[in-house]
Amino acid sequence: MQYRRFGSLDWQASCLGFGCMRLPVLDGDYTRIDVAAAVPLLRHAIEHGINYFDTAYGYHGGNSEAVLAQALRGGYRDRVRIATKLPSWLVQDASDFDRFLDEQRGRLDSDTIDFYLLHALDLARWDRLYRLGVLDWAARARADGRIGHLGFSFHDDYAAFQQIVDAFDWTLCQIQYNYMDADSQAGTRGLRYAAARGLAVVVMGPLLGGSLVDPPPAIQALWDAAPVRRSPADWALQWVWNQPEVSVVLSGMSTLDQLRENLQSADAARPGCLTEDELLTIEQVREVYRQKQPIPCTACRYCMPCPNGVDIPGNLRIYNQVVMYDKPALGRNWWYQRQLSESSRASACVDCDQCEPKCPQHIPISDWMPRIHAVLAEGQDYATLSD
């Protein structure tokens, strides 16, 4: 296992962190963790050098934190640091800060949460928490020992990211980052900005929720022709670890084989380890994926706000990902259902056409919305709906 300095702290974190959002489950039910499989899996990770474990209030229907606590009994807790997250979207008033934190401390059977993150911040959510006094509350929680360090996880654009980073002396941030998202959300620019400010940067989604693991034939052909042989997952992980500003790369692992493969990748992880030829291969892969994108949306958001509440760029992005990575089940069961509220999905479009004159790419948005819903909610084959 390779270790990296964790921002400004005098602590070395394993370059591979264990994300506890995809633990093994029973009968395909996301809320029913297979404890008999999960506990030895988590302990195997610790025994092989992983010392950073990431969970959250809502993972596995609220059961992830308790199962992690069970795995950390018997002396394992002293060997790791835990990150969990405030469910920002559930906060109604300032009293909820203490309520959620104390509930999570109980679930995790830990007096102190090493790293406490404000979960899934965008600018609107951050503004709301800030007005409720979350920073003053966090200072008190640190002073009384209930949390060790404060951070945030993030899903918005770079301008919002910079504003949040500049608002407080954070210890860490968590961003979605992979070779397909280098220019999305915080992106490479945000990664470098946060690191320059002394924050540890924890990366989530290095495999884009599994989308980069089992590529279509055209992508696999490029990997097969590469100057070195790696699995698609290893290529994706090494690209993230290649960035010296990255402290920890999280991976959600549900089987021992996945864990072993990632541990092997982590053993080889070094900043700047990829050659120019290897980086060129990744750029070629990125370009082939992008050529498969059916809707030319650049996420400029000129179409927003929608008068009916539709998250237009969000729906277009998810549909593009389904087609680009050929992952219809993942799009339906994860991205569409979990990333978009019901009121913001494509089904809320009423064909008012107010968005289309604003689109620089001249996308027929009102035509796409029912097609998106047909694929992502009704299970139709996107290939039968293509132009």
Tell me the two tokens of residue 217.
Answer: 């034939």
Cβ neighbours, 10 Å, residue 345: 23
Q: What is the pLDDT of residue 383?
A: 78
Query: Mind listing the pLDDT tens digit for each residue in 182-203?
Result: 998 999 999 999 999 999 999 9
Question: Model's pTM, two decimal places?
Answer: 0.89
What fold does the segment set 3-282 form as a domain? TIM Barrel (3.20.20)
Mean pLDDT across 320-324: 89
Tell me the two tokens of residue 301.
Answer: 């958001």
Grade residue 386 by pLDDT with cuts at 50, 70 and 90: low
In terms of phi and psi (left: phi > 0; alpha: psi -120 to 50; beta: otherwise), the region of 148 is: alpha
CA distances from residue 11 to 209, 263, 294 in whole angstroms, order as listed: 28, 20, 45
Q: What is the pLDDT of residue 182?
A: 93
Residues in the chain: 387
Q: What is the pLDDT of residue 385?
A: 62
Please state, in angstroms and rounded to a whole number, the distance separating the CA atoms of residues 271 and 283: 18
Share in percent of the chain as helix, strand, coil (round to 5): 45, 15, 40
Domain with CATH 3.20.20.100 in the chain: 3-282
Verify cis geometry, omega within 30 degrees of 0, for the bond prior to 305.
yes
In terms of phi and psi (left: phi > 0; alpha: psi -120 to 50; beta: otherwise), the region of 353 is: left
Query: Mind listing the pLDDT tens digit for each residue in 294-316?
Result: 998 887 788 999 999 999 999 99
Please state, for a pLDDT cut of 70, what percent of the chain lies above it.
99
Q: Are 151 and 115 in contact (CB under 8 A)?
A: yes
Lowest-confidence range among 183-197, 233-247, 348-362?
348-362
